[in-house]
Amino acid sequence: MAAKLIVGLGNPGPQYTWTRHNAGFMVLDRLARLINVSITRKAFSGLVGDGEWRGNRVYLLKPQTFMNLSGRSVAEALRFYKLSLSDLIVIHDDLDIPFGTIKLKEGGGHGGHNGLRSLAQELGSPAYFRVRVGIGRPERGEVVSYVLQNFAKSEMDSLTTVLDGTIDALELLVTEGVQKAMSLYNGKQLG
């Protein structure tokens, strides 16, 4: 049985629960409920749970280090489970993609995302899979305050559809590979 470390990026604490920057946590929490995995065990400076999904052993990790130090948690978990970068899937928010749209990719730069910057520093390579959840850019104002704001009411109405569609793409990534998942989901408007 193959194993995957699936990481949702976000910030710990109830004040961040529904913020745009926590899109990775939201997807992971929804996946955990779907496959009946509890992400409550404290390890790797994060919260972790494990189970089986579609014939794979999956380890679900929510780093609790705040976004800009996420790489430490992920590197510790990879070492502990003796997994390689090709076994890592990171789910994160992306300003450069419109809300309701997702993109999958393998490798690439951090694009100014502090969580991805930390991963690059700690892992020494960007050669892992990413599920990028679009949050759009603010029309005006600072990006930092925008990503730390809750989703707007209009966005919350379709957020469940976006999360479920993201899990469908993630499932295809795990079972069929990145090329198939990218061909069906890259740029697809989910909500």
Catalytic sites, residue numbers: 21
- Alpha-carbon 152 to chain mean position: 20
DSSP string covering 27-41: HHHHHHHHTT----E
For residue 54, CA distances in Å to 28, 35, 78, 185 come to 16, 10, 21, 19
Dihedral sign, CA of 149, 153, 154, 159? positive
Work out the widest C-alpha separation in the chain, in whole angstroms. Answer: 48
Question: What does R_g of the chain's alpha carbons equal in angstroms?
Answer: 15
Give the other-Cβ count within 10 Å of 153's Cβ. Answer: 7
- Dump strand ranges (E) for the chain: 2-8, 41-43, 46-53, 56-63, 88-94, 101-106, 129-134, 188-189
Element (H, E) at 179: helix 178-185
